[in-house]
């Protein structure tokens, strides 16, 4: 890899790694949010012993919505 006089190639590589790490972290955080909400719903459904797992369904959907809100906040324009 040739390096320009201002080190622009090195800056591009670092920026690429920073983006990779940022979005990987966002993905793991989103998975964690969804799993936490789903597990909470599963626990509530286990306590109530209902036939239909209402809390698991509702809380997993809320987890998906929450993780999307988190994603939009993190990737939106910086102020």
Q: Cα–Cα distances in Å, from 22 out to 3, 15, 42, 71?
A: 25, 10, 30, 11
Whether 63 contacts 73, CB under 8 Å: no
Q: How far apart are alpha carbons 60 and 73 in whole angstroms? A: 20
Q: Is the pLDDT of residue 2 over 60?
A: no
pLDDT at 10: 77
Specify if 55 maps to a domain: yes
Specify if 60 maps to a domain: yes
Q: Domains in the chain: how many in total?
A: 1
The DSSP element (H or E) to which 39 belongs, if any, is helix 8-48
Question: Would you tell me how many other CB atoms lie within 10 Å of the CB of residue 60?
Answer: 19
Q: Is the pLDDT of residue 21 over 80?
A: yes
Structural domain range at position 45: 33-72
pTM of the model: 0.78
């Amino acid at each position: 890899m040739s390096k320009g006089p201002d080190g622009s190639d090195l800056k591009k590589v670092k920026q690429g790694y920073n983006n990779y790490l940022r979005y990987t972290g966002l993905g793991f955080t989103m998975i964690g949010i969804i799993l936490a909400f789903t597990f909470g719903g599963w626990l509530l459904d286990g306590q109530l012993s209902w036939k239909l797992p209402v809390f698991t369904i509702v809380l997993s959907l809320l987890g998906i919505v929450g993780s999307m809100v988190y994603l939009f906040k993190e990737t939106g324009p910086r102020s």
